[in-house]
Structure 1
Amino acid sequence: MRAHLVRVDAVVVQAVIAGALSFSHLHDLAAAAGQGGWKAWAYPISVDLLLVAAWRRMRQLQRAGEAAGSPRLWFLVALAASLGANVATAGLLDLGHVPASLRVVVAGWPAVAFFGGTLLAHASHVRDAPAVLDSPTADPPEGQTPALAAVNAPEPEALPVPAPDPVTEPATVEPETVQPAPPGPAVALPPVLIERVRALADEHRSATGRPADPDTVRARLGLPPSMTASVAAHL
């Protein structure tokens, strides 16, 4: 348990450190591109939220067996923005003299992120499958219990009952009496079951002062009646 907690804590700490560094790089790049004040702090949040939202929608569509091309595209866009900011602040770009093209990209990012987030938010999770209620063996629709589906299912048409023959009456057949099968020979029980039989017998003897009945012990163990002789052999 402690090793599991240590492993989880290490993963959380690593995620927090990586997220803080990426957040700082995006903020520095946005501030260098002319986005000052609160706007420079909003850019990292926008990029990270689009990244997480695209990843979650992509996983949902993949589990549903549908194509996840659109979420994968927006995931790559957000990943490129985050990775590009981290690489740009590694000394390869002079933050004091940011190119005009980068200023245009940073300034246009809010519109791109808003468009992508809107598409991800309004995309359907799973395509609606047509409900088949004509067949009695069809699965009930999603969100409907089997009992409710059975109530809503159409009742089968009743077959006409043939009229009895007025001349010949069916002969009355007496039901055959089924004699219970005699208990079979004792079957060897596994050692674990033998210990359980003896423990139940000792418990019954301690509680009542009388020896345990084999049928009672067999019933408490959930064994079939044919195992009564096997249980009695170990009492």
Structure 2
Amino acid sequence: MTRLVRPDAVLVQAVIAGALSFAHLHDLAAAAGQDGWKAWAYPVSVDLLLVAAWHRLRTLRDVGEPSRSAWSWFAVALAASLGANVATAGLLDLGDVPAWLRILVAGWPALAFLGGTLLVHRPTPRPEPDSEPVQAPLPVVDRATEPGVQDTPVPAQPAFAPAPTPAPPVTAPPALVAHAQKIAADHRARTGSDIDADALRTRLGVPPQMAEAIAAQLA
């Protein structure tokens, strides 16, 4: 299905403004003695420098680098375009262009070449990665199926192993118990049943042993 192209007011305005600026730059270059194809090349040179400076400015902003040089060349290209628009608005006699303006027009190609070269060939720093690379887990070796590997004999366990030392009892702070009593009362009022240790652990954000100890005090 063919997609219809919908006109955009901003795009139309940009095309009109670009065409007018292009014509003004051409008229000024022709009046300054640049005839033929050279007069048409001047608007292209100004617009290309303007676009290159803006693109460089956006790139430096994205990586967090200083953008003073890009701003400088953007201002130079913008001044050339804006100056041509103002000069051809009746404020300058195009039949008698002053010498200083002829010098500026004649020296523009060298200035534009310098600016474009510095903008394009300056290396762009890459942003540093946010996180360190994740190392791949080590492969698990199955010693039962690996050829050439014999099982290591496991030492015999003593007949009577010592009994494990019992863990000390968990004591909950009084302030935490009082807060748990409020949670339990609210739970009983909403559901009609007592709150269990798992739900209490979730609400308080405490370890399981602490939640069981608090639940035992609430019983």
1:10 matched residue in structure 2: 9
2:65 matched residue in structure 1: 66
User: Cα gap change, 1:97/1:60 in structure 2, threshold over 3 Å: closer, same or farther?
Assistant: same
**Alpha-carbon offset, residue 169 of structure 1:** 6.3
Across the aligned residues of Structure 1 and Structure 2, the Cα RMSD in angstroms comes to 2.8
Provide the C-alpha distance between the structure 1 equivalents of 2:88 and 2:29, rounded to a whole number of angstroms: 11
**Alpha-carbon offset, residue 22 of structure 1:** 0.2
1:95 matched residue in structure 2: 94
1:139 partnered with 2:132: yes
* Counterpart residue identity of residue 115, structure 1: L
User: Cα gap change, 1:99/1:150 in structure 2, threshold over 3 Å: closer, same or farther?
Assistant: same
**Alpha-carbon offset, residue 170 of structure 1:** 8.9
- Deviation larger for 118-127 or 53-62: 118-127
Provide the C-alpha distance between the structure 1 equivalents of 2:40 and 2:132, rounded to a whole number of angstroms: 51
Q: Percent identity?
A: 65
* Counterpart residue identity of residue 92, structure 2: L
Segments of structure 1 that go 5 or more residues without pairing to the other structure are 133-137, 141-148, 156-162, 172-235
Q: Give the greater-gyration-radius structure (CA).
A: 2
**Alpha-carbon offset, residue 168 of structure 1:** 2.4
2:135 is paired with a residue whose SS is helix
1:168 matched residue in structure 2: 158
User: Cα gap change, 1:170/1:79 in structure 2, threshold over 3 Å: closer, same or farther?
Assistant: farther
1:56 matched residue in structure 2: 55
Preserved contact between residue 49 and residue 115 of structure 2 (Cα < 8 Å): yes
**Alpha-carbon offset, residue 166 of structure 1:** 4.8
1:28 partnered with 2:44: no
* Counterpart residue identity of residue 132, structure 2: D
**Alpha-carbon offset, residue 128 of structure 1:** 6.8
* Counterpart residue identity of residue 168, structure 1: P
Cα deviation 1:111-132 (Å, max 9, x = unaligned): 0000000001111222475x89
1:213 matched residue in structure 2: none
1:150 is paired with a residue whose SS is coil
Give the total of aligned pairs.
Answer: 144
**Alpha-carbon offset, residue 63 of structure 1:** 1.3
1:125 is paired with a residue whose SS is coil
1:150 partnered with 2:135: yes
2:8 is paired with a residue whose SS is helix
User: Cα gap change, 1:169/1:76 in structure 2, threshold over 3 Å: closer, same or farther?
Assistant: farther
2:39 matched residue in structure 1: 40
Provide the C-alpha distance between the structure 1 equivalents of 2:160 and 2:124, rounded to a whole number of angstroms: 63
* Counterpart residue identity of residue 75, structure 1: F
Cα deviation 1:134-174 (Å, max 9, x = unaligned): xxxx523xxxxxxxx635x9x7xxxxxxx976562697xxx
User: Cα gap change, 1:36/1:170 in structure 2, threshold over 3 Å: closer, same or farther?
Assistant: farther
1:110 partnered with 2:109: yes
Provide the C-alpha distance between the structure 1 equivalents of 2:159 and 2:84, rounded to a whole number of angstroms: 95
2:118 is paired with a residue whose SS is helix
The normalised TM-score by structure 2 is 0.59
1:160 matched residue in structure 2: none
Cα deviation 1:5-36 (Å, max 9, x = unaligned): 76x52111111110000000000000000000
User: Cα gap change, 1:56/1:169 in structure 2, threshold over 3 Å: closer, same or farther?
Assistant: farther
Segments of structure 2 that go 5 or more residues without pairing to the other structure are 139-152, 162-219
